[in-house]
Amino acid sequence: MMEYKTMDMIRRFLEDHTELEIFPREGWLYAVKIGRKDLPPIAFRADMDALPIEEDISLAYHSSHDGRSHKCGHDGHCAALCGLALELDQIETDRSVYLILQPGEETGQGAKICKSLIREKGIAEIYACHNLGGYPENSFVYRKGLTQPASEGLQIRLSGKTSHASAPKEGRNPAAAISHIVLKVRELTGSRSRGMVLSTVTGIKMGSDDFGISPGEGELCLTIRAEYEDEMKLLEEGILPIMSTQNPRIYAGLTIL
C-alpha cells in the first residue's frame, strides 16, 4: 500500500473544492456529508491503488511512474468519487454520506483497514462502481442487470517434506500437485456455461534458486471470475475436490491448507 501521494492529492482536492469534513487515516481517508442523526448513514467507496505494470499505451493521463499504472481503472474510480463529492457539497441530504478512499484493493488488504469505520459509524449500506473499458471517451453506458463479473481469490497451500535434490523420493515436493491443479482448472473453465467463466493463475510460490534443495512447501493463487455468480460458485466447488478425488498418488504425503 503506497498510495500516499494519491491520498494527499485527493485530500487537497476535497479541501479546495468542497466543505465536506475530511478525515485522513493511516494509509487511507474518508470524507463525510453530515445528515440527520436519526437515520443510518450510507457510504460510497473507491479504491485508489495502482498495479506494478508498465504503462504501454499513450494516454493524456499516462502514468508518471515507471513500472506502475492504473490498469484496473482505480484512477477513474477516485475521479468518480471526487465528482460525487462535488455534487454532495451542493445539496442537502437526509442521511449522512461517507466517501471512503481505500488502498490495497488488488491485494485484499485495504478493506481490512477500512472496515472498522462501518461499525464505528453505523453505516447501513455501501455502494461502489467499476470502470468498463472499450467505449468511446465521454460516453455514458448503462444496462439492466449485471455489467461485470464477480470474482474471488483462491489460495491453496500444500505442505510436504523438504529433501536434497539428489534424493527427491525422500521428500514430498508439491510441484506435480500444483501443475495438476492448474491443468484441471483449465479444463473446468473450458466446460459449457451460460456466460464467461475464467480462472487466472496469479501466483505460484515454491522453492528458491538453491539447486540442491527439493522444496516441501508450495502455494498456488488463483483468481476466479464468472459472468454469473452461481457459475463462479460451481467453478470453486469444482476446484476444491481436485485435490482429494483425482490422482491420489500425486497428493500422497501432502497436506492441503
> How far, in Å, are 33, 45, 48, 181 from residue 19 at the CA level?
8, 19, 22, 53
Q: What is the pLDDT of residues 27-79, one digit of tens each?
A: 888 999 998 888 999 999 988 766 656 667 776 766 666 766 566 666 778 88
List per-residue pLDDT tens for the chain, 257 residues long: 566 678 788 899 999 999 999 999 888 889 999 988 889 999 999 887 666 566 677 767 666 667 665 666 667 788 889 999 999 999 988 999 999 988 767 666 767 788 889 989 999 999 887 777 788 878 777 777 777 777 888 899 999 999 999 999 999 999 999 999 999 898 888 766 788 889 999 999 999 989 999 999 999 999 998 888 888 888 888 887 887 655 667 777 778 77
Give CA–CA dist 99/34, Å, rounded. 11
Q: Give the type of residue at 137.
A: E
Length of the chain in terms of residues written:
257
* Burial of residue 256 (number of CB atoms within 10 Å: 0-12, 13-18, 19+): middle
Read off the C-alpha cell for 141: 453506458
Contact 93, 37 (CB under 8 A): no
Q: Which domains does the chain have, with CATH numbers?
A: 4-127 (3.40.630.10), 150-256 (3.30.70.360)
Give CA–CA dist 123/61, Å, rounded. 34
The pTM for the full model equals 0.65
